[in-house]
Amino acid sequence: MKDQTVELLKEYGINPTSQRVRIYDYLASGQGHPTVDEIYAVLQRDGHLFSRATVYNTVNLFLEKGLIHNVKVEANETRYDITSAFHAHFKCTSCGALFDIEMEEPLMADTAGFRVDRTSLVFSGQCPVCQAKAAEV
């Protein structure tokens, strides 16, 4: 187990079990924005056999502790993202790919007593590749 991850989880008040460390490491390895199913499948494939329920428990725990975020674009498609500086997302409606977009966090115009804890900004449309493909035809 990665000591670095163990320490990080502890910092966030999370008991660093082997499953949790593995799930975190996978999220941190930068494989895009996996769904629970993708996380489960990869860890299964790599012989770390455990339950789908554990993946749900773990990502929910990470979310709660603010270690990761999620992005919902399609119904039935919740993807997870390790926390870092704010960034927006771009979802291509043709190929389904999800991109990170570096930009400043938009602030709520008139907060009027609302306390904003989190900002989710998702653009959708067509990515350059799909536009090129569409133009070819």
Partner DNA sequence: TTTGTTATTAGAATTATTCCAATAACATAA
Partner DNA sequence: TTATGTTATTGGAATAATTCTAATAACAAA
Task: Return the range that interacts with its own copies (CB under 8 A); candidates 10-18, 22-30, 42-50, 105-113.
Answer: 105-113
Question: Please, what is the minimum distance in Å from the beta carbon of residue 8 to DNA?
Answer: 15
Task: Count Cα neighbours of 6 within 13 Å in the Cβ-side half-sphere.
Answer: 5
**Angle, alpha carbons 7-20-33 (nearest 5°):** 105
**24/46 Cα distance (integer angstroms):** 15
Among the listed ranges 24-32, 53-61, 87-95, 114-122, the one in contact with DNA (CB under 7 A) is 53-61
x-or-dash string of contact with its own copies, 64-103, rule CB under 8 A: --------xx-x--x---------x-x--x-----x-xxx
Return the C-alpha torsion angle 72, 74, 80, 82, nearest 10: -60
Backbone φ and ψ of 29, nearest 5°: -75, 0
1 binds, among its own copies, DNA, none (CB under 5 to 8 A by kind): none
Shortest Cβ 62–its own copies spacing (Å): 15
In the bound complex, what is the minimum distance in angstroms from residue 30's beta carbon to DNA? 20
